[in-house]
Chains A and B, each alone.
Chain A
Amino acid sequence: MNWASAADFWAMGGYGFYVWGSYATVLAVVVIEIVLLRVRRRRAISEIIGGNLEMGKSTQTVGDR
């Protein structure tokens, strides 16, 4: 065990700002990416379910894999 107390843990030997700043940044970016992924998915699905997609308006080329 490296830490004598919880305060000791949060202080990170005087480097708290840099260590926790780094970890908070990673956490924030991961949370933001997951939210954006979910928003994009929901938008894509609602466009198929709610959208007026006529069979004749197909833009997909059949010969394309």
Chain B
Amino acid sequence: MSTLSVHARPGLFWFSSPQTFFPLAGRLTPWFFVIGAVLAALGLYVGFFVAPTDATQGESYRIIFIHVPAAWMSMFLYLIMAFWAALGLILNTRVSSMMATAIAPTGALMTVLALITGSLWGRPTWGTYWVWDARLTSELILLFLYLGFLALQAAIDDPRRADKAGAVLALVGVVNIPIIYFSVQWWNTLHQGSSVSLTRSPSMAATMLLGMLLMALAFWSYSIGAALHRVRSILLEREKRSEWARELRAAERLK
């Protein structure tokens, strides 16, 4: 199937063609960053000025407003990365594979943030920065999976072969996600189970939950913006000699 016949009409593979996807992603990216910034401002306001002091943890609990969103994103982004990688593997759509590659660095950074903010929260509440329990160890393994994915792809010169090898690694690593999620139930761990009912008073929990959800949506929006921004660079890097990249260059629409 030629590339031209794919992008000539809208259909199942309309957005999987680089020349359609590149300008679309470019238009969407700034909106995700703006919405992320607005939600973060609202979430921080609620988190620091509306949500009250926690009954048992004092002010240290306010780390929750970034720790939980970062930890959620580290897991969500892995699943989304594996989904696009699998799609690229099955349908042989190269934009899908590039999407997976674009998500990986942001996912790795979210995992780093979850680990660092978690250890800064663990010190005052557990008395230690790190403990080799199920939740923390499986989250560390998640970081190694992201880094392994990036290193493997960087080590293979042929982009399509790198996509396929990365997809296999990403799919095998999916097994780690339920392990992280259910680790607090399956094993005896220092990490607390539920994160939304920190106090007994329901009205307090409601504003804490609101702050956390606003921050989670902000992290979502930021992550999508970052991934879309990165995938456009990857498209240009990989397809700099293609017809559509030449056309964009001639029209001065590369930015």
Contacts and interface: CB of A to CB of B under 8 A. Distances in A.
A23 B94 contact: no
B121 to A, nearest CB: 7
A43 B109 CA distance: 22
Contact of A15 (B51, B52, B60, B106): B60
Contact of B116 (A25, A41, A59): A25
Contacts of A12: 59-60, 62
B160 A64 contact: yes
Contact of B241 (A3, A33, A53, A65): A53
A61 to B, nearest CB: 8
Nearest to B33: A34
Nearest to B117: A22
Contacts of A53: 240-241, 246
Nearest to B13: A65
Main DSSP-derived SS at the A contact region: helix
Contacts of B245: 48
Contact of B121 (A22, A29, A45): A22
Contacts of A3: 49
A6 interface: no
Contacts of B155: none
Contacts of B241: 53, 55, 57-60
B66 A23 contact: yes
Interface string B242-255: 10011001000011
Nearest to B243: A60
Interface residues of B, number: 53
Main DSSP-derived SS at the B contact region: helix
A48 B160 CA distance: 21
Interface in A22-47: 22-23, 25-26, 29-30, 33-34, 37, 40-41, 43-45, 47
B213 interface: no
Contacts of B116: 22, 25
B89 to A, nearest CB: 13
A41 B58 contact: no
Given A13-B60, A26-B113, 17 more contacts: A9-B48, A15-B124, A18-B121, A19-B59, A22-B63, A22-B116, A22-B117, A23-B66, A29-B112, A33-B106, A37-B226, A45-B236, A48-B240, A49-B249, A58-B242, A62-B3, A65-B1
Interface of B: 1-3, 6, 13, 16-17, 48-49, 51-53, 58-60, 62-63, 66-67, 70, 91-94, 105-106, 109, 112-113, 116-117, 120-121, 123-124, 160, 222, 226, 229-230, 232-233, 236-237, 239-242, 245-246, 249, 254-255
